[in-house]
Structure 1
């Protein structure tokens, strides 16, 4: 009834409306955008038809057509990585990132770091991680804010600058370990632990110390993991790893302890790692004031 008059909807109109509702429900269920643009076609091939190769072709078309370039490039890179085409994905980011918005650059850097790791391109991974740390040090990360909204598995959550710094340092420590540079990795992991203690990074720090023959120090840290004194210690795999490393120490206990002066080793190498950041100290965030305080305490 409309304005006192009945409005009849024909059978065809009802059917058309139902088709529209069904189509809309389809997009919600499969999490694909509506429309018929190259990007929409690519997402349909990726998520509905499960045709990865065809979706990559259409993501390329979307980028070339200027259709949702930020999303098209990131989605294409993810599919390439899943197809073990990491080297191609690296080149795709380098070739097309200039077409993307400023807001997309950080996400592209994170994808590159992961791709470098997968490809074994450790030097490039290290350099990019250092660049990200420099942005934090200069106060330019997160657009100058102390937190940002991140997304994982379709869920949004808040990440603080301290968490991001610790995460990047953890990745940098891992990269140094792949180069068997356990001295540099130790320094990075100690910095990460000073910012935000974590059981997994504690295990990696313990391994660095074991590789340097400093078993008593390693045992002290790994015991803390087993006694659940770190965040993440409740993870059974992390605790098991700590126990395995403790067993390794026992098997090596007949070897002599290193006579390295821990404080001097850390400070000398810390100066090397941080040297390039020195000119920017006037702009550093509060987290780096905490790091400087940590250094001063160790120097006493």
Structure 2
């Protein structure tokens, strides 16, 4: 009987371990474990958030509890609440978790309507700080790559990839202000470092917003021509097609009908000048960008 009971306990323990491994939840009966069970097994995000709060208040795996709670809140479209939670309670987390918490915030800012809740400037300052840390060697510690995690999967990311990613997010933040000239500069820098079709579409949108249709068309043709990484993916191709259609609808088409019958004299010259003035993109707003570029560079290097 005793031997059988021992075998049963061993078997039961093994089953519990296999259960936790299969559902990717830790073992035990703490608030954090119960929160993960509610999130992954019971599929009850509201209950999971309550239990994650309890875990944070109890000091139970605070680093993981705060990050996991923010992810669940994002899934429930409670992005603003998640942002405030991370900002308020990250002081309870370890020093080692601060970089990953920054990444959680970056993801939340990117996917939430930061313009609506007035957090664009917060997003921009966070991204600039992250870029400054990369430039100063504080994140990669002088190594060409580092290990990162996304959606539970680990992978290696290079300095070039991370810099381009952050610049892409910064460009998107500037577009929300909206400051399309600053966004253009940032996207161009990102494309120089690690080009891809998605950022190319965003860059073309910046140009469209400034009335620079020929430049936007050239970039979109590169995407549709398969010249950039990711060009063959469905979403960027579809977006490039939509933006190119917008360019065609906005860009004035040549109409020489009003020039027919004119002599090759002042009337003809005036007609050409008038058409050129109508077609030419406005450059009146280009000057302020140099102040923005200088300010942006100074803040990154200071």
Asked if 1:41 corresponds to 2:24, the answer is no
Q: Report the Cα offset of residue 146 of structure 1.
A: 2.8
TM-score, structure 2 as length reference: 0.83
Q: Is the 8 A contact 2:187 2:203 kept in 1?
A: yes
Using the TM superposition, name which of 42-51 and 157-166 deviates more: 42-51
Alignment of 1:1-300 (within 5 A): 10-117=3-110, 118-120=112-114, 121-254=119-252, 256-258=279-281, 260=283, 269-279=292-302
More deviation in 43-52 or 27-36? 43-52
Q: More displaced, 81-90 or 158-167? A: 81-90
Q: Distance in 2 between matches of 1:127 and 1:221?
A: 29
Q: Relative to 1, partners in 2 of residues 1:152 and 1:112: Cα closer, same or farther, differing over 3 Å? A: closer
Q: Cα deviation per residue 1:39-94 (whole Å; 9 max; x = unaligned)?
A: 11221122112222222222222222222111111111112222232222222212
* Alpha-carbon RMSD: 2.3
RCO higher in structure (CA 8 A, sep ≥6): 1
TM-score with structure 1 setting the length: 0.83
| Secondary structure in structure 2 of the residue aligned to 1:50 | coil
- Verify the 8 A CA contact 2:129 2:300 in the aligned structure 1: no
Tell me whether 17-26 or 263-272 shows the greater mean CA deviation.
263-272
**Contact map agreement 1:187 1:269 (CA 8 A) in 2:** no
Structure 1: 5+ residue runs without aligned partners? 1-7, 280-300
**Structure 2 stretches of 5 or more lacking a match?**
253-277
Provide the C-alpha distance between the structure 2 equivalents of 1:244 and 1:94, rounded to a whole number of angstroms.
38
In our comparison, the structure showing a higher alpha carbon Rg is: 2
Assess if the C-alpha contact under 8 Å between 1:215 and 1:257 holds in 2: no
In structure 1, distance between residues paired with 2:34 and 2:87? 24
2: CA distance, partners of 1:278 / 1:48 = 47
Report the number of matched residues.
Answer: 272
Deviation (angstroms), 1:19: 1.1
